[in-house]
């Protein structure tokens, strides 16, 4: 009897979608919508997704490929996070127009700033195409044949759906290729910056607070989608007009109470909830290496940024990127350990093996766990070297540049691809010189390359690297000095000339000292690491697909949500706090009082606030943006299952109105990408009332307040 209880508990903690776990397809199964409604949701599944009528999905966009945004007015006004619009904000900033420090608000449509590379994507429709894709494919078919069949069929289906360029379409696997979904998108290419608060609001708390609660960040920025006269996507043009959405989401000033139902609609990037224990074990082993390499880089960058305003502007966006994953990995590591994730998975796997043994039909699954073990044992070394290749070798910007340029010589490309690649390379190079600081980069080189040398065993040191080592007497600063003083890649004129005559000058490029250094690793990698890595990953795919199929079969009576894959999803939960450690309870919201408290710690630069904000606080000039206690709310916690990519996602109340913008998770929650824990997993959102307060009271951008209909 006891044993049965134990196994039942394990299945529940490991795989059942219960409590608020789950990243659901918007075409909601009966089970999900009923559960949502039971928990307080007042709308229907057609309100969320409908192909014949407009629905909430028509107000959600994937922003710039990696974030989410929400349309909030009939004139295509778009809210997303400050950190999502950051590359654009930084791009428009200079020492003279320092929008990072001062913020920016366009006073009219004409002042809204175009962003040539920025796009937003609306999901037009989605469709299960599994039958077409998998027709005639079975377990006995060689993987290469399966692969190429799936590829050709996917391309064909997508091409038809694109309807001669009207849409963008793609077929994507879910459940590791046990099911396939066609996604059809409308992609808008003229998206302009309307406004942003300054860094000390939009990024308030910076890296000190990133991934943490209590939080006080006004992490939002405002854009507008433009369309041609027919309201269709068009390249940027002065004759474009504000986009008229099929549906926009109404901003609500009503707020929330603790335990209120809430849901999130957005584009979560990637989760891996169905990994075997061996995979999690490897992740835990490799994480500390990646963390250490980034710590080294960040120590150097942070010091240089603190010493020089021009370095601060140049490295603001790059630094934020490096620091973000760095901190998340640390939280994830601690969370998986606290959850005892490997042992939980191992326990589950015992139960899985019993389940397999119970029925002869399940014998295809019999060797799965042993296979996983063998593959991960072998993968261990290769995957670690791959991490070092990305996090150490390609960390110095000069080496990264060598690698970007080197990619252009890939002979497999067609002429058209090549032109496109060249154009992109030109942008990469321009950005490189605009945002480069030699001294910083050189220090990074010396540090991380030394770490590579010490932590990766000799047999994986390319010969040329060994030669560099001896020639510079084992001194990595000397090595850096030599490479950085002799390379041509730091000479913009040389690089521009080279780009104009790429084939003729390829010899000169290949002899460049930085390129020689890079290529010694990339050649070694391509020859000795990549093939093995690819082979192992291929086998892993097959096994993981089979494992997923088994899990689906094992959990037939429930609905398992598919891992996030950068497509539109729903997550739902409650507004609620949690207890991160014994003796501590996190309240579900913060207020401007907390901003003032933090700002008094004047040794922390991340907590500096604009004097205008302090003034508004002193006079309690909060307008209509207070809660029913008269406080100005800033951020709140909820138990929605989210991940990277959900940034900028609307957080909606039971009636589908906007109460906040998701921008983060708690540190104690970040392991939810691998294992969800309802007691610890909370997403962090900026309260929409704080967003409006900043737009209205702090920035005086009244025209937007009118546009949002707040005054009505
Ligand atoms: N952690 C959030 C996310 O993953 C916010 C990152 C931006 N903020 C920062 N301080 N780097 O994207
Ligand atoms: N800040 C993340 C993003 O950019 C969201 C936080 C998370 O990973 O949940 O998508």
- Least confident interval from 211-225, 313-327, 613-627: 313-327
The continuous run of DSSP H or E covering 209 comes out as helix 206-209
Let me know if 647 is a catalytic residue. Answer: yes
Q: Are 115 and 191 in contact (CB under 8 A)?
A: yes
Report the pLDDT value the prediction gives residue 317, as an integer from 0 to 100.
Answer: 84
Going from the Cα of 633 to the center of ligand 1, the distance in angstroms, rounded, reads 20
Report the pLDDT value the prediction gives residue 712, as an integer from 0 to 100.
Answer: 58
Report the pLDDT value the prediction gives residue 44, as an integer from 0 to 100.
Answer: 97
**pLDDT of 10 strictly over 50:** no
Return the percentage of the chain with pLDDT > 90, whole number: 89
Distances (CA, A) of 277 to 13, 128, 593: 14, 30, 44
Going from the Cα of 597 to the center of ligand 1, the distance in angstroms, rounded, reads 22
CA 676-70-101 angle, 5° bins? 95
Q: Which of 70-108 are b and which e, b meaning 16 or more Cβ less than 10 Å from the residue's Cβ? A: bbbbebbbbbbbbbbbbbbbbbebeeeeebbeebbbbee
Let me know if 219 is a catalytic residue. Answer: yes
Going from the Cα of 690 to the center of ligand 2, the distance in angstroms, rounded, reads 20
- Counting ligands in written order, the one closest to the CA of 671 is 2
On average, the pLDDT of the chain sits at 94
Going from the Cα of 231 to the center of ligand 1, the distance in angstroms, rounded, reads 33
Going from the Cα of 624 to the center of ligand 1, the distance in angstroms, rounded, reads 29
Q: Are 120 and 188 in contact (CB under 8 A)?
A: yes
Q: Determine the Cα–Cα distance for residues 436 and 668; give it in Å rounded to an integer.
A: 35
**Catalytic: which of 35, 219, 563, 687?**
219
**pLDDT of 171 strictly over 80:** yes
643 lines ligand 2 (CB under 6 A): yes
- Counting ligands in written order, the one closest to the CA of 664 is 2
Residue 691 CB burial class (10 angstroms; 0-12, 13-18, ≥19): buried
Atom of ligand 1 nearest to the CA of 665: 1
Atom of ligand 1 nearest to the CA of 209: 10
- Counting ligands in written order, the one closest to the CA of 270 is 2
Mutate to test the pocket of ligand 1, among 662, 663, 683, 686 (most ligand atoms within 8 A of CB): 663
- pLDDT, one tens digit per residue, over 631-669 is 999 999 999 999 999 999 999 999 999 999 999 999 999
Return the percentage of the chain with pLDDT > 70, whole number: 96
Task: Name the phi and psi angles at 164, rounded to 5.
Answer: 50, 45
3-state secondary structure of 199: helix
- The confidence band for 416, taking pLDDT boundaries of 50, 70 and 90, is low
- The confidence band for 3, taking pLDDT boundaries of 50, 70 and 90, is very low
Mutate to test the pocket of ligand 1, among 210, 317, 648 (most ligand atoms within 8 A of CB): 210
Q: What dihedral do alpha carbons 417, 420, 421, 424 form, nearest 10°?
A: -160
**Catalytic: which of 58, 64, 73, 83?**
83
- The confidence band for 526, taking pLDDT boundaries of 50, 70 and 90, is very high
- The confidence band for 308, taking pLDDT boundaries of 50, 70 and 90, is very high
**pLDDT of 5 strictly over 50:** no
146 lines ligand 2 (CB under 6 A): no
Atom of ligand 2 nearest to the CA of 643: 9
The residue whose C-alpha atom lies closest to atom 3 belonging to ligand 1 is 664
Let me know if 216 is a catalytic residue. Answer: no
Cβ neighbours, 10 Å, residue 157 = 19
3-state secondary structure of 687: strand
Q: Are 564 and 269 in contact (CB under 8 A)?
A: yes
Q: Determine the Cα–Cα distance for residues 146 and 139; give it in Å rounded to an integer.
A: 9
82 lines ligand 2 (CB under 6 A): no
Residues 6+ apart with CB under 8 A from 273: 561, 563, 674, 675, 676
664 lines ligand 1 (CB under 6 A): yes
Report, as an integer, the average pLDDT of 50-72.
97
- pLDDT, one tens digit per residue, over 446-495 is 999 999 999 999 999 999 999 999 999 999 999 999 999 999 999 999 99
3-state secondary structure of 223: strand
Report, as an integer, the average pLDDT of 311-318.
91
86 lines ligand 1 (CB under 6 A): no
Q: Determine the Cα–Cα distance for residues 114 and 192; give it in Å rounded to an integer.
A: 4
Report the pLDDT value the prediction gives residue 605, as an integer from 0 to 100.
Answer: 86
Report, as an integer, the average pLDDT of 156-184.
98
Q: Determine the Cα–Cα distance for residues 513 and 389; give it in Å rounded to an integer.
A: 18
Report, as an integer, the average pLDDT of 174-187.
98
- The confidence band for 424, taking pLDDT boundaries of 50, 70 and 90, is confident
Q: Determine the Cα–Cα distance for residues 288 and 623; give it in Å rounded to an integer.
A: 47
Give the residue from 479, 482, 463 showing the smallest Cα distance to 520: 463
Q: Output the six-digit token pair for 686.
A: 């900026």
Report the pLDDT value the prediction gives residue 411, as an integer from 0 to 100.
Answer: 57
3-state secondary structure of 1: coil
- pLDDT, one tens digit per residue, over 545-595 is 999 999 999 999 888 999 999 999 999 999 999 999 999 999 999 999 999
Going from the Cα of 105 to the center of ligand 2, the distance in angstroms, rounded, reads 25
Give the residue from 297, 282, 509 showing the smallest Cα distance to 390: 297
**DSSP labels for 32-44?**
HHHHHHHTT--S-
- pLDDT, one tens digit per residue, over 238-273 is 999 999 999 999 999 999 999 999 999 999 999 999
The continuous run of DSSP H or E covering 300 comes out as helix 277-307
Residue 255 CB burial class (10 angstroms; 0-12, 13-18, ≥19): buried
Residues 6+ apart with CB under 8 A from 255: 627, 628, 633, 659, 687, 689
- pLDDT, one tens digit per residue, over 339-362 is 999 999 999 999 999 999 999 999
- In the DSSP assignment, the letter for residue 305 is H
626 lines ligand 2 (CB under 6 A): no
642 lines ligand 2 (CB under 6 A): yes
512 lines ligand 1 (CB under 6 A): no
Report the pLDDT value the prediction gives residue 373, as an integer from 0 to 100.
Answer: 98
- pLDDT, one tens digit per residue, over 81-125 is 999 999 999 999 988 899 999 999 999 999 999 999 999 999 999
Give me the count of residues in the chain: 712
3-state DSSP of 407-424: HCCCCCCCHHHHHHHHHH
Give the residue from 711, 653, 649 showing the smallest Cα distance to 683: 649
Report the pLDDT value the prediction gives residue 500, as an integer from 0 to 100.
Answer: 87
Report, as an integer, the average pLDDT of 189-193.
98
Going from the Cα of 169 to the center of ligand 2, the distance in angstroms, rounded, reads 25
- Alpha helices (runs of H) in 435-529, residue ranges in sequence order: 438-455, 463-471, 476-486, 492-500, 506-511, 513-524
Q: Determine the Cα–Cα distance for residues 650 and 669; give it in Å rounded to an integer.
A: 19
Report the pLDDT value the prediction gives residue 15, as an integer from 0 to 100.
Answer: 44
Mutate to test the pocket of ligand 2, among 320, 646, 684 (most ligand atoms within 8 A of CB): 646
Going from the Cα of 172 to the center of ligand 1, the distance in angstroms, rounded, reads 27
**pLDDT of 388 strictly over 70:** yes
Give the residue from 234, 203, 226 showing the smallest Cα distance to 112: 226
């Amino acid at each position: 009897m006891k044993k049965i209880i134990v196994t039942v508990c394990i299945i529940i903690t490991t795989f059942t979608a219960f409590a608020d776990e789950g990243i659901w397809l918007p075409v909601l199964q009966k089970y999900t919508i009923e559960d949502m409604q039971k928990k307080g949701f007042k709308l229907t599944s057609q309100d969320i997704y409908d192909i014949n009528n407009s629905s909430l999905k028509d107000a959600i966009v994937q922003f710039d490929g990696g974030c989410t945004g929400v349309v909030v007015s009939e004139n295509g006004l778009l809210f997303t996070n400050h950190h999502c619009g950051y590359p654009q904000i930084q791009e428009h900033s200079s020492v003279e127009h320092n929008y990072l420090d001062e913020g920016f608000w366009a006073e009219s449509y004409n002042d809204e700033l175009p962003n040539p590379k920025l796009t937003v994507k609306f999901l037009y429709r989605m469709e299960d195409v599994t039958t077409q894709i998998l027709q005639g494919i079975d377990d006995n078919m060689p993987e290469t044949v399966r692969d190429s069949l799936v590829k050709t069929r996917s391309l064909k289906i997508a091409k038809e759906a694109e309807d001669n360029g009207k849409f963008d379409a793609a077929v994507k696997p879910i459940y590791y290729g046990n099911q396939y979904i066609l996604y059809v998108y409308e992609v808008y290419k003229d998206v302009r910056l309307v406004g942003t608060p300054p860094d000390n609001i939009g990024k308030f708390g910076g890296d000190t607070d990133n991934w943490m609660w209590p939080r006080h960040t006004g992490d939002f920025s405002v854009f507008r989608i433009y369309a041609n006269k027919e309201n269709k996507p068009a390249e940027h043009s002065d004759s474009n007009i504000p986009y008229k959405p099929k549906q926009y989401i109404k901003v609500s000033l009503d707020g929330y109470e603790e335990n209120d139902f809430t849901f999130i609609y957005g584009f979560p990037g990637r989760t891996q909830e169905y990994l075997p224990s061996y995979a999690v074990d490897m992740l835990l082993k490799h994480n500390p290496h990646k963390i250490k390499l980034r710590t080294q880089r960040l120590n150097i960058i942070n010091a240089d940024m603190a010493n020089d305003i021009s370095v601060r502007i140049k490295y603001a966006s790059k630094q934020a990127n490096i620091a973000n994953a760095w901190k998340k990995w640390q939280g994830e590591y601690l969370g998986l350990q606290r959850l005892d994730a490997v042992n939980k998975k191992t326990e589950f796997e015992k139960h899985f093996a019993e389940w397999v043994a119970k029925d002869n039909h399940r014998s295809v699954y019999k060797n799965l766990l042993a296979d996983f073990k063998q593959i991960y044992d072998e993968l261990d070394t290769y995957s670690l070297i791959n991490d070092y290749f990305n996090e150490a070798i390609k960390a110095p910007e000069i080496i990264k540049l060598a690698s970007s340029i080197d990619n252009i010589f890939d002979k497999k490309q067609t002429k058209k691809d090549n032109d496109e690649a060249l154009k992109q390379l030109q942008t990469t190079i321009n950005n490189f010189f605009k945002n480069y600081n030699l001294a910083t980069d050189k220090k990074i080189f010396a540090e991380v390359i030394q770490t590579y040398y010490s932590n990766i065993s000799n047999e994986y040191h390319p010969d040329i690297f060994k030669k560099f080592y001896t020639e510079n007497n084992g001194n990595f600063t000397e090595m850096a000095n030599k490479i950085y003083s002799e390379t041509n890649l730091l000479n913009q004129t040389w690089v521009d000339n080279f780009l104009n005559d790429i084939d003729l000058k390829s010899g000169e490029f290949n002899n460049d000292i930085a390129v020689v250094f890079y290529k010694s690793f990339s050649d070694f990698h391509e020859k000795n690491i990549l093939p093995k890595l690819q082979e192992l990953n291929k086998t892993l795919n097959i096994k993981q697909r089979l494992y997923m199929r088994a899990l689906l079969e094992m959990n037939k009576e429930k609905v398992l949500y598919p891992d996030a894959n950068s497509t539109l999803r729903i997550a739902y939960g409650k507004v609620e706090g949690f207890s991160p450690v014994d003796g501590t309870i996190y309240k579900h919201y913060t207020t401007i009082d907390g901003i003032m408290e933090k700002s008094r710690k004047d040794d922390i630069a991340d907590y500096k606030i604009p004097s205008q904000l302090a003034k508004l606080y002193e006079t309690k000039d909060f307008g209509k943006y207070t809660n029913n206690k008269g406080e100005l709310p800033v951020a709140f916690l909820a138990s929605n299952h989210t991940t990277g990519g959900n940034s900028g996602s609307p957080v909606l109340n039971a009636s589908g109105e906007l109460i906040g913008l998701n921008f983060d998770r708690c540190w104690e929650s970040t392991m939810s990408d691998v294992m969800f824990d309802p007691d610890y997993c909370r997403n962090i959102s900026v309260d929409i009332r704080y967003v409006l307060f900043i737009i209205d009271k702090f920035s005086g951008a009244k025209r937007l307040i009118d546009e949002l209909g707040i005054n009505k």
